[in-house]
Every structure is written in C-alpha cells, then in structure tokens.
Amino acid sequence: MRIQVKVIPNSKQNSVEKKEETYIVRTTAKPIDNKANAAVISLLAKHFKTAKSNLQIVRGIRLKNKVVDVVNKNFN
C-alpha cells in the first residue's frame, strides 16, 4: 500500500491522523540528521501495527510531503 504523508516536525506531541487521503504525522523530532524521518517511520509502524522494516519512504525524503510504502500481509 502506498500512502501520502504530511510531516509536521518539532511538534509538542507525537500523533498520526488521517485526513481524506493523507496521513498527518506530528513528531517531536527535529528535521535534522534524518531524525524526523526515523520518527515518522516509527510512528507509522505503530499506527499500522507492523515492523519498521515494512515501511519505506519512496519520495520526499527531504520534504514535508512524502510518499511511503507500507508492506503488511494483513492488508491483503
């Protein structure tokens, strides 16, 4: 499954919320040294109840709007 993600780094708390076709991910991590991307993967893994290794950012590694592939056998 491929999802659209909008990242809001340096937030007060971590959260994942779905609005229409986009997941809004708020993370307390700062967008320095790939820390926000790692936090996004971790938060989405918890949200989808899957391993972090089943998620991959395929587009937008340095942008707030990203495309993430989620591989999970439970979705089939």
Enumerate residues 6+ apart whose C-beta is below 8 A from 3: 23, 67, 68, 70
2-14 pLDDT, tens digit per residue, is: 999 999 999 999 9
Residues pairing with 22 in the sheet: 4, 19
pLDDT tens digits for range 15-33: 999 999 999 999 999 999 9
φ, ψ of residue 72 in degrees (nearest 5): -150, 125
Q: Domains in the chain, please, with CATH?
A: 2-75 (3.30.1200.10)
pLDDT at 71: 87
Report the predicted TM-score, pTM, of the whole model to 2 decimal places.
0.90
Residue in 16, 22, 28 with CA at minimum distance from that of residue 4: 22
Q: Name the band, by pLDDT with cuts 50, 70 and 90, for residue 76.
A: very low
What is the per-residue pLDDT across 43-69, written as a single tens digit (0 to 9) for each? 999 999 999 999 999 999 999 999 999
